[in-house]
Amino acid sequence: MKKTIAIVDDETDILNLVSINLEKAGFNAIKFETAAELKKFLVQELPDLLILDLMLPDADGFDICKELKKNERTNPIPVIMLTAKGEEMDRILGLEFGADDYVVKPFSPRELVARVKAVLRRGLVQDQDILEIGNLLKINFPKYEVWSEFRKIDLTTTEFKLLELLTKRIGWVYSRNQILDHLWGNEKIVLDRTVDVHVRNLREKLGKAGKLIKNVRGVGYKFER
Domain enclosing residue 81, as ranges: 4-123
What pLDDT shows up at residue 76? 81
Domain end (from 123, 146, 161)? 123
Domain boundary residue among 91, 123, 155? 123
* In a shared domain, residues 18 and 81: yes
CATH number of the domain that residue 154 is part of = 1.10.10.10
Predicted confidence at residue 126, as pLDDT, reads 45
Q: Answer yes or no: do 142 and 40 share one domain.
A: no
Question: Final residue of a domain: which of 96, 123, 150?
Answer: 123
Give the predicted TM-score (pTM) of the model: 0.59
Q: Are residues 157 and 93 in the same domain?
A: no
- Report the pLDDT averaged over residues 209-215: 93
Do 117 and 162 belong to one domain? no
**Are both 10 and 118 inside the same structural domain?**
yes
Burial class (CB in 10 A: 0-12, 13-18, 19+), 25: middle
Q: What pLDDT sits at residue 30?
A: 96
Domains of the chain: total: 2
Domain of 11: which CATH number?
3.40.50.2300
Region of residue 21 (phi > 0: left; psi between -120 and 50: alpha; otherwise: beta) = alpha
Range from 31-40, 57-66, 171-180 carrying the lowest mean pLDDT? 171-180
